[in-house]
Amino acid sequence: MKILVITETFLPSTDGIVTRLTHSIRWLKDAGHEIIIVAPKLGVETFEGIKVVGIPAKKIPWYRSKKFAMPSRKIKKVMEDFGPDIVHVVNPVFIGAAGIFYAKKLKIKVVASYHTHVPKYADYYRIGMTKPILWWYFRLLHNQADLNLCTSQSVLKELNEQRFKNVHYWKRGVNTHQFGRHHRDIKWRQLVTNHSPTKKILLYVGRLAAEKEIHKIKRLLEKQDNIVLVIVGDGPERNDLEKLFQHESVVFTGFLHGEELAIAYASSDAFIFPSTTETLGLVILEAMASGTPVIAAKSGPTQEQIVDGVNGILFNPSDESSMDALLEKMYNEELMNRISMNAESEAKENGWSDQAAQLLGYYEQLILQKRKMST
């Protein structure tokens, strides 16, 4: 099968979309399929032997922390030269829109996957009045696809309510080989706690952006001075967060990858996820696979992954008493150990191969439909 992947974000960027995409593409390649990737031109020309066609990228005025590629006729030429059986458009906005347009003109089946809740982000960037327009735009794009995918059942329900058509669930996954409690490193703990063995390490991993609501963690640090918060990641809010946490025990590491990231997860006492705007939250599953108890704000996607008190802890981010109760739970060793074991056991059942095989099944379903229509 020939598969053309058109994505708004790719390497060297670091986020959950890129992680899922690279694992899926690797699996599809190993299964013998031919793939070309179209992505913003950021210096990556190949991925494990797969050609990456770069489209010139630039920063846009209202989101200066990231470069985006604009629609280009180059995408049409790639389609004509490659002759794909399937075009998979990942998080269509700009080049994804062009991908859908040209694929429909060339009568190629299109899968579009929805990963970022952009309309929900509007409130965090003081453009809440644009939400109806944003929903209209993304509905327009996705409803031209032959099949739409999203990464949680709660988002699937919301997209259906927003009149998106033909939406299906795409399973979650995690690298069960990369993450695990065997990466726990005492030296790393000594480093981030400044050799204070009694201190608890609370970990955050992700982009440092307004919609992640990282500022809400400050309340926990003000209530308990025996906690060190380690923030792994980078983004437009880093300077503001460094100022906000300047009087607290907080370590900013920037982005970590590979073994360094695995060590950070496994060596922490708990992982905190304060965002309520995610469509999945891949980092939750990475923490669970590391045996690190997850403390997450209640939302549709987090409640699909976490059963409160069983394999994680949920809190109401708008209720201060709910957040205050987290401290007592963090210091309950019996509870945290039970959650750790349950979380690790569940995560190990969600490797990347299952979700990649499911994706291939969706591709094959569309190709079969096309063959039936042509006979």
pLDDT at 317 > cutoff 90: no
pLDDT of residue 62: 66
Please name every residue paired with 57 in a beta bridge, in sequence order, or none if there are none: 69
pLDDT of residue 61: 75
Helix, strand or coil for residue 312?
Answer: strand
pLDDT in tens, 212-249: 999 999 999 999 999 999 999 999 999 999 999 999 99
CB atoms within 10 A of CB 30: 11
Beta carbons of 48 and 146 less than 8 angstroms apart:
no
Domains of the chain (ranges plus CATH)? Answer: 2-173+351-374 (3.40.50.2000), 181-347 (3.40.50.2000)
Helix, strand or coil for residue 105?
Answer: helix
- Token code pair at residue 122: 């509007």
Q: Where are the alpha helices (DSSP H) in 31-109?
A: 74-82, 95-105
pLDDT of residue 69: 97
Beta carbons of 283 and 16 less than 8 angstroms apart:
yes
Task: Output the furthest CA–CA distance in the chain (Å, rounded).
Answer: 72
pLDDT in tens, 3-52: 999 999 999 999 999 999 999 999 999 999 999 999 999 999 999 999 99
Nearest to residue 371, comparing CAs of 167, 81, 109?
A: 109
Nearest to residue 108, comparing CAs of 138, 94, 137, 88?
A: 88
pLDDT at 269 > cutoff 70: yes
pLDDT-wise least confident of 55-69, 83-97, 213-227, 337-351:
55-69
User: Beta 57-60 vs 46-47: how paired, if at all?
Assistant: unpaired
Where would I find the beta strands (DSSP E) of the chain?
Answer: 2-7, 34-40, 46-47, 50-55, 57-60, 63-69, 86-90, 109-114, 147-150, 167-169, 200-205, 227-232, 250-254, 270-273, 294-297, 313-315
**Tokens 């690279």 correspond to what residue?**
22
pLDDT in tens, 169-220: 999 999 999 999 999 999 999 999 999 999 999 999 999 999 999 999 999 9
Helix, strand or coil for residue 48?
Answer: coil
pLDDT of residue 274: 96
Kindly indicate the confidence band of residue 373, based on its pLDDT and cuts at 50, 70 and 90: confident
Q: Helix 16-30 vs helix 282-289: angle between axes, to the nearest 10 degrees?
A: 70
Mean pLDDT of the chain: 95
CA distance 92 to 104: 14
Report the percentage of the chain scoring pLDDT > 90: 89
